A and B are shown apart, each in its own frame.
Chain A
Amino acid sequence: MGILEVKGVNKRFGGLQALGDVNLSVRENTVHAIIGPNGAGKSTLLNCLVGKLIPDTGSVMFDGQSVLGRQPHEINQMGISRVFQTPEIFGDLTVMENMMIPIFAKRDGAFRMHAVGNMMSEKGIVEAAEKMLVDMNMADKRDMHTASMSRGDKRRLEIGMCLAQEPKLLLLDEPTAGMARADTNNTIDLLKQIKEERDITIAIIEHDMHVVFSLADRITVLAQGTPLVEDDPQNIKGNPKVREAYLGETA
């Protein structure tokens, strides 16, 4: 029984069957990659996991509880953190403030009226945020405004913000899309390090095979909204069905 269990999920947009009978099981403390050609339904599936979309039928269970019908912030409080395709961070705030917000969210829940104390005198939160900045190798950027940072740094900060919440499951939506090779390799190294050092399950949607094969313990291939195969990386590479899905009919 995995930490995330997707069973019989269907999602239809008008005449388009975006997801057809998707079953997926993500085991605890593994990196599970979901790959597939454009339009395979990877992003739709992800949006069904985080509360942005509600599947027409089927169930999504996380840690023994259904996530369906819950708001994104409620699902996050259950222990799922999401990293977006383009880094979503608080652009008007400093790096330190960006890092403090998830820690406040972890401690105080979805809403707390905390209007008179000074935020910098919250010792526990400040220390936790500073430690995470050191872990992410960003301590020197502490007081920088995030709008002026490079894409790689933004991605690093976003991942750090998600980790600061100590989630059970980290969802990554094409974390290296649009990145230069050097930034891609940095991100791979960072994710490898996270995988080794923390008790965390990672589900990753990715286009870049280099990223997938350097990280994944298990791979699901989606094609036209349906899972084609689920297997270990070495078996995926040689699978004729996968080749067909990516390259079309073989001659």
Chain B
Amino acid sequence: MLGLNKKDTTLLLVVAILTLCAPFILNPFPEGSALAQFNAGYPDLMQRFVIFGIFAIGFNILFGLTGYLSFGHAAFLGVGSYSAVWMFKLLSMNVIPAIILSMIVSGLFAVVIGFVSLRRSGIYFSILTLAFAQMSFNLAYSVLTPITNGETGLQLTLNDPRILGMSATADGSIPVTSLFGLEMRSTYQMEVGAWLFQFNAGYYLCAAIMLLAFYLAIRIFRSPFGMMLRAVKSNQQRMRYTGLNPRPYTLAAFVISGMYAGLAGGLMASMDPLAGAERMQWTASGEVVLMTILGGAGTLIGPVLGAGFIKYFENIFSKINDNVLHSWFSFLPDGLEDFIVTIVHPFIGKGWHLTLGILFMLVVIFLPGGLVEGGQRIARLFRGKKTANTSKTKTEPAE
């Protein structure tokens, strides 16, 4: 189907079903129950899942296929966000032109940065991209204040010209982003017993775009171009002596993944029309590296899993505080309860990064292929048991 083989089609369908049913799947606990804080099925977080999914899918096209580790991809995310917000300010509140502009601008940006950075490989390439991203961050923060609005961040105001649209709504407030009139913030709520499911227009737009982005990534992975990118990672020497020029291949991969990042940035601004310089900071670049490696670099589904995993932890773990811990461990004797809460305290709330760091270390050491490898090992365990059972009936050959 759609030019994919059976395995890839199944994968795409599974991802499609999961993203479309996410409002149900991510809300397994009834409203008001003790476990309700583990629910992730609210629009804001679901949007972040798919947007960072797009970001990581694009990053994986560069890092997973060519092995070039960019440490400055957040710059493209930021550039995409700024472009989108400018489009909202100047043209209209429709998200389509904003998203298109964010991809174009980030693509051009990627051509320039890629052209310079790709003269080097390995650690030097990483450092160059990091330097460029930090430069962009600092420029956005200070020198380029007329364009980026410095530390305040770029926001919509009541005096924006907005050629195709109005500067302010009839009741004097700033208009909201929409897709041909469908407001991105509009949410349909469905109450089923104790459960509350939310279906948000913005989420479904992001999810549809992520599925498209995922589909394109599968096509790239299976294409001759994708094979050439893997060849770049494997042996550039052989490539050159086979009549292939690795430079344009890596540049193309860099620009494609930059445009994915720009798309993610544009979507972020479309969901919430503001853009700040901190989106370009090196921690944001590092985050996408973590997502890709945690999920499984070079695999199709890995980066999406990694993005979901990290965003879930960021939002859920960071919300747990000492009061919640006390209520969990209240069945223990007082002294012991306090003791356990003290032990767990550094790993929750603001300390969730510590938990993430430990998880990341465990994954890199024990599952170098990321969560995908973990899944494969479990699958093999089950299949291994089956084959072990069948082989028992066979007679063992003599040694």
Contacts and interface: CB of A to CB of B under 8 A. Distances in A.
A241 to B, nearest CB: 34
B227 A97 contact: yes
A11 interface: no
Q: Which of B225, B240, B243 has the most CB of A within 10 A?
A: B243
Interface residues of B, number: 29
A119 B231 CA distance: 14
B120 interface: no
A89 B242 contact: no
A92 B233 contact: yes
Contacts of A120: 222
A195 B249 CA distance: 35
Contacts of A113: 225, 252
A77 B245 CA distance: 11
Interface in A87-135: 88-93, 97, 100-102, 104-106, 108-120, 122
A81 interface: yes
A176 interface: no
B245 A115 contact: no
Contact of A89 (B4, B235, B252): B235
A71 B247 CA distance: 12
Interface in B238-272: 238-245, 248-249, 252
Contacts of B237: 84, 88
Contacts of A118: 3-5, 219, 222-223
B228 A81 contact: no
A73 B228 CA distance: 14
Contact of A161 (B4, B5, B234, B242): B242
Contact of B243 (A73, A88, A116): A73
Nearest to A111: B248
Given A90-B235, A101-B231, A115 B225 contact: yes
Contacts of B228: 101, 104, 114
A104 B230 CA distance: 14
Interface in A109-168: 109-120, 122, 161, 165
Contacts of A202: none
Interface string A55-82: 0000000000000000111001100011
Given A81-B242, A118-B4, 16 more contacts: A71-B240, A76-B242, A84-B241, A88-B238, A89-B238, A101-B242, A104-B227, A104-B228, A110-B243, A110-B245, A111-B244, A111-B248, A112-B224, A115-B225, A122-B224, A165-B243
Interface of A: 50, 71-73, 76-77, 81-82, 84, 88-93, 97, 100-102, 104-106, 108-120, 122, 161, 165
